[in-house]
Homo-oligomer: A and B are copies of this chain.
Amino acid sequence: MIKPRSRRGGGRPTISDVARKAGVGAITVSRALREPERVSEELRRQIQAAVDELGYMPDPNARALASARAEVFGVLVPSLTNNVFAEVVRGIYDSLSDSPFRIQLGNTHYSGLEEERLLQVFGSQRPAALIVAGIDQTPVSRKLLESAGCPVVQVMETGPDPVDMMVGFSHLDGGRTATEHLIEAGYRRIGFIGARMDPRSQRRLAGYRAAMEAAGLFDPRLVTTTPVPSSVSLGREMFRDALAKVPTLDGVFCNNDDIALGVLFECHRASIAVPKTIGIVGFNDLDMMQVAFPSITSIRTHRYEIGRRAVAMALAAIAGNRPEQRIVDLGFELKRRESTAR
């Protein structure tokens, strides 16, 4: 006599339990759950009743094994705590929350090598889609993405050569717009303060530089950067450095809002008038920018929407109707506020 292995799952009901109770074959239950339209009205009702009664939930592992496809979105971001990526993840999460798809989160810590490692690991799960931050994957990562056999969405940035799909905006244009705004407002010795200096920050810097050169105002001494992770306190310190280097500084375009806030606080502390003596522009437009005193001009970016759009595109591709527009530029918005209103 064959003794079935004692129920390892702690007695949770399986698809055969449901099938037995509903008086149908297991495969019909499977179909009723995944493609209800292929099952007759009546059986569907019976099966649903059995499912409800037993509290049946399909085992995602068995499903993934049998179908060679996990209902998982792999999501790679460079930071979990940076509000910018947290917002993107939230958008992804919310868009996925009433789908069967789960999220597999990976934190690359801004490291290409770690990204490669994670892509390798994620690949072994055959995810339904991959969403990765940025467009500067290493050649190895790119190859892994191309051979992943699933839709891939690069988010936060747009660029010329998508692996598959893209949702984001131009950081270069953002940097340029911010800088042009300062120039138009009458500032001349405009500094750039940037921490972390990941590829996106680099491009914001490039935009700054383009605008400054176009106006004949560029001076390398105006640029202050560090690879150190960004923070409000770092913003304060970097602003002091910048000011020590160029005492005639009359404006700053900051890498991001944290830095901008640090600059603002240091201005308060040193009794530097904003926007009169110094103009400040941030990047991302966190909620606090509009509340700060004076309120801080910033580039509003649509992080949550980027997450949502990325999921929408990936889901469409999974469903078989890949969007014809593979690169979606969600743009940005210059929010003019008191910190540059002189």
Whether B124 and A59, one on each chain, are in contact in the complex, defined by CB atoms closer than 8 angstroms, is yes
Contacts of A83 in B (CB 8 A): 81, 83
CB distance from A161 to the nearest CB of B (A): 24
Contacts of A269 in B (CB 8 A): 293
Q: Does A139 contact B (CB under 8 A)?
A: no
Q: Does A292 contact B (CB under 8 A)?
A: yes
**Which of B12, B235, B261 makes the CB contact (< 8 A) with A124?**
B12
Q: Does A126 contact B (CB under 8 A)?
A: yes
CB distance from A270 to the nearest CB of B (A): 9
A258-289 at interface with B (beta carbon < 8 Å): 258, 261-262, 265-266, 268-269, 287-288
CB distance from A234 to the nearest CB of B (A): 9
Interface size class of A (residues with CB under 8 A): 35 or more
**Which of B9, B61, B258, B265 makes the CB contact (< 8 A) with A61?**
B61
Whether A262 and B233, one on each chain, are in contact in the complex, defined by CB atoms closer than 8 angstroms, is no
| Assembly stoichiometry (copies) | 2
CB distance from A129 to the nearest CB of B (A): 16
Whether B124 and A291, one on each chain, are in contact in the complex, defined by CB atoms closer than 8 angstroms, is no
**20 A-B pairs with C-beta separation under 8 A:** A10-B68, A10-B149, A57-B121, A61-B65, A61-B125, A80-B86, A80-B93, A81-B83, A97-B107, A103-B104, A103-B105, A105-B105, A232-B288, A232-B291, A233-B291, A258-B288, A261-B291, A265-B291, A265-B292, A265-B293
Q: Which residues of A contact B (CB under 8 A)?
A: 8-10, 12, 57-62, 64-65, 67-68, 70, 80-81, 83, 86-87, 89-90, 93, 97, 102-105, 107, 120-121, 123-126, 149, 231-233, 235-236, 258, 261-262, 265-266, 268-269, 287-288, 290-293
